[in-house]
Amino acid sequence: MEILKQIRYEPAQVTGGYTDQLLEIDLSKLQITIQDLSPDFKNKYIGGRGYALKLIWDGTSRETRYDSPENILVMASGPLGNEPSFPGTGKFIVGTISPLTDTFIDSNVGGHFGPLLKLAGFDALAVSGIASADSVIVIDGDLRTISIIAAPAYDKEIDEGSLSFGKRLLEDINDGEYSDSLAAVTTGKGACNARFGIINSLFFDRKRNRIRAKQAGRGGTGTVMRTKGLRGIVVHSSLSKANGNNAVDKEGVRRAGSRLREVISKADPKQLHLSAWGTTILSEYMNKFHLFPINNYQYGQSSESPKLFAGVFLDRYFTKNMPDGCYYGCNLACSKSSENVELTRGPYAGQKVSIDGPEYETVGAVSCMGIFDPHFVLEYNWYCDEYGLDTISTGTTIAFFMECFERGFLTADDIGYKLTFGNMDAVDRLLHEIANAKGFGKVAGQGVARGKKWVAEKYAARNGISQDAALVELSKFAMEVKGLEFSMYVTKESLAQQGGYGFALKGPQHDESWLIFIDQIHKELPTFEDKANALKWFPLIRTWFNATGLCKLPWIDVRNPEAANTDEPAKNLPTLAYYVDYFNATTGSNKTLKDILDDSERLYILQKLINLRHGKGTRVSDQIPLRAMGPVYFNEYESRAEYYDGWLREQLGDSEVPAAPEKKHELLVKKRIEAYQQLCDIVYEEKGFSSDGIPKRETVEKFGLLDEQAGKLLQGFGM
């Protein structure tokens, strides 16, 4: 391998969850630098997302775009990542300026990369610059070297695929053998050609004796990676993973982990049973309550949905009775896998492949395109991973164009073929076109926000109307906010989750808040104030998980039986207490849950400041498409007319509800729009923002974030 730059270093030991070292690599200058991080840095920014936010706040400007050399691709675990005696500690964050949203995006991903990076001596890796030729970074804690090497060339097929290239790279770097002392991140050619490129996190699974992959899927982090000319990063450390954080109170860590493991082992088999089904179990429950996206979120339920329920994947594809965690020590083990699946479509038709998944979101992406074929889900999953494309954004984008075609905004001439809901051949064709930047794939690869402008131009020219008028109509069902495509939940009947998507700082991804059940089904948030409280509390605690290197599922998707005896069972506070204990035992601090929420709020406000700086931080950027609030078109209203009429009667009383169905539909839409605006007002107040969604000066000051840049920024907004 051709070494372009190499340094020797002494890996810092992990103490209390931190190495206090940052690895900075500038690919333009071939510069490798190790920075000490001050105690103040970790105390204020925790780790993971917090580190990414601070590095990007300081190191980029309002002019920075995803492809600017100064854009930084940050990867960081957190103080609680890498502890096999506590479930769910394999997570790390990839943060950068997004090609979709033009502001900060982060995506959390499991696997071994984050833990191994820490064992190799680094709390975070920050890559800037653009390589003059495709490169790979190798961080070798055993050899004590950090290298930038020329990306090896194998053959075209391997080199273009994220999974294929990553597997070969891991083999190559370790003398032909896989090892769980190595992990890699890679992406594929799709990330070169679409804005929603992903980063695969590859690790060796001893039980399956193969390389597996998890994905940092949202916001185009893979696109940034490829734009930098970075084909892969390999990290190597054979230090013991046990007690990897060198916790201050090892017995405290063991005790907290043991309690969480016990809850999981007792409760998961009686609840979602994620250990058996993975997240595919959600399809059935989402469908039951009209939350499963069908035909670009027009509907939330279909008679065909059972073809995509978990039992189908378990019977036909998933390996049974094999715990499938993405990191050691997780007894939730929800990371299901399908082996020896024969591809029937695309350039690799006839090959048998192993597929890590599907997850619920991928299943939902396929139903969103009106397809209910489980084998298609598997193939779609594999090709997206291999190409390095986000299954969510790809599905939401294609579904949008399908609706454009079906409603006459696009023609077969525009696309090159008939892109109808449920048309597997058309989706198959478009998926490969996106990955290869061919035909209509060049348009679709830009995502929904840019795609709708392209459609508006075509439609306006053809019909003699203004582009603005066309755009207004298209925006009603273009499922994006801030430039990011929606993840896979229908929010029409949950005002709280409309806010959960609309206020989410990165765009409509559910990892900031998922309030549908407690709002729509449990009815635990009856007032605007209740919703606003939840829309503050849940994003803060979820942000903390993304800052510490933890998976949220053992907390949020396994309800501790003791939570039933608390005032707010949905917060699952008895389990959260284990996490607070785990944090304190690892780091030697003495924090309460309130302290943790305050720490998290600092990160939340910092992310809001970055959004403001990049033009995505005010009220207008929190607006959601009408499709997310209710039935845009009459066919949607008709499909649940009885329900919607009941909703109107409940809101207005019998006498105020008009008789004509068209008038009822009109009134319903009006009421939904009014409700969302009212929610904005109350949520901004709750969060300490102005009515335009801008953090008040005192809010920023309270968290020690009022530096010179923040002061000028707020001044520019009249704050």
Partner 1 sequence: MAQKMMVSVKFLGMQRVVTKKDSVNIPITGEMTVKDILEFVKNLYPDLTLDEEMLFVTVNQEKASLDRLLSADDTVSFLPHISGG
Which residues are near partner 1 by CB under 8 A? 267, 269-273, 276-277, 279, 281-282, 284-285, 288-289, 310-311, 360, 489, 510-511, 514-518, 521-523, 552-553, 556-557, 559, 561, 564, 569-570, 572
SS3 of residue 626 by DSSP: helix
- Nearest distance, CB of residue 514 and partner 1, angstroms: 3
Per DSSP, the residues of 448-460 read HHHHHHHHHHHHH
Residue 410 burial (CB < 10 Å; 0-12/13-18/19+)?
Answer: buried
| CA–CA separation, 127 and 231 (whole Å) | 12
Closer Cβ to partner 1, 141 or 374, answer by number: 374
Amino acid identity, position 73: L
Closer Cβ to partner 1, 164 or 494, answer by number: 494
CB 275 within 8 A of CB 331: yes
Closer Cβ to partner 1, 263 or 657, answer by number: 263
What is the DSSP secondary structure assignment for residue 142, as one 8-state letter? Answer: T
Q: Are strands 124-128 and 21-26 parallel, antiparallel or unpaired?
A: parallel
Per DSSP, the residues of 17-55 read TB--EEEEEETTTTEEEEEEPPHHHHHHH-SHHHHHHHH
For 712: left if phi > 0, alpha if psi spans -120 to 50, otherwise beta; the answer is alpha
- Nearest distance, CB of residue 571 and partner 1, angstroms: 10
Closer Cβ to partner 1, 29 or 270, answer by number: 270
Residue 559 tokens read as 């309800």
| CA–CA separation, 709 and 614 (whole Å) | 13
CB 396 within 8 A of CB 485: yes
Helix H or strand E segment including 235: strand 230-236
CB 677 within 8 A of CB 620: no
- Nearest distance, CB of residue 510 and partner 1, angstroms: 6
Closer Cβ to partner 1, 263 or 415, answer by number: 263
Closer Cβ to partner 1, 90 or 129, answer by number: 90
Closer Cβ to partner 1, 331 or 587, answer by number: 331
Cα distance from N-terminal residue to C-terminal residue, the chain: 54
Question: Would you call the peptide bond into 695 cis, given omega within 30 degrees of 0 as the criterion?
Answer: no
Helix H or strand E segment including 695: none
- Nearest distance, CB of residue 293 and partner 1, angstroms: 14
| CA–CA separation, 109 and 146 (whole Å) | 23
What is the DSSP secondary structure assignment for residue 521, as one 8-state letter? Answer: I
- Nearest distance, CB of residue 559 and partner 1, angstroms: 4
Closer Cβ to partner 1, 531 or 559, answer by number: 559
- Nearest distance, CB of residue 267 and partner 1, angstroms: 6
- Nearest distance, CB of residue 17 and partner 1, angstroms: 25
Half-sphere exposure of 427 (CA within 13 A, CB side): 31
- Nearest distance, CB of residue 236 and partner 1, angstroms: 31
- Nearest distance, CB of residue 558 and partner 1, angstroms: 9
Closer Cβ to partner 1, 428 or 511, answer by number: 511
CB 563 within 8 A of CB 531: no
Q: Max CA-CA distance within the chain?
A: 79
| CA–CA separation, 373 and 313 (whole Å) | 11
Closer Cβ to partner 1, 289 or 717, answer by number: 289
Residue 459 tokens read as 């439609």
- Nearest distance, CB of residue 546 and partner 1, angstroms: 13
Contacts of 93 (CB under 8 A, 6+ apart): 48, 49, 51, 52, 74, 75, 76, 77, 78, 106, 107, 108, 109, 546, 547
Residue 696 tokens read as 């008040």
Closer Cβ to partner 1, 249 or 284, answer by number: 284
CB 470 within 8 A of CB 407: no
Closer Cβ to partner 1, 312 or 424, answer by number: 312
CB 83 within 8 A of CB 241: no
Closer Cβ to partner 1, 66 or 579, answer by number: 579
CB 186 within 8 A of CB 158: no
Helix H or strand E segment including 204: strand 199-205
- Nearest distance, CB of residue 552 and partner 1, angstroms: 7
- Nearest distance, CB of residue 513 and partner 1, angstroms: 8
Closer Cβ to partner 1, 194 or 488, answer by number: 488
CA dihedral 399, 397, 683, 592 (to 10 degrees): 110
- Nearest distance, CB of residue 556 and partner 1, angstroms: 4
- Nearest distance, CB of residue 650 and partner 1, angstroms: 12
Closer Cβ to partner 1, 310 or 456, answer by number: 310
Q: What is the 3-state secondary structure (H, E, C) of 262-307?
A: HHHHHHHHHCCCHHHHHHHHHHHHHHHCCCCCECCCCECCCCCHHH
- Nearest distance, CB of residue 657 and partner 1, angstroms: 21
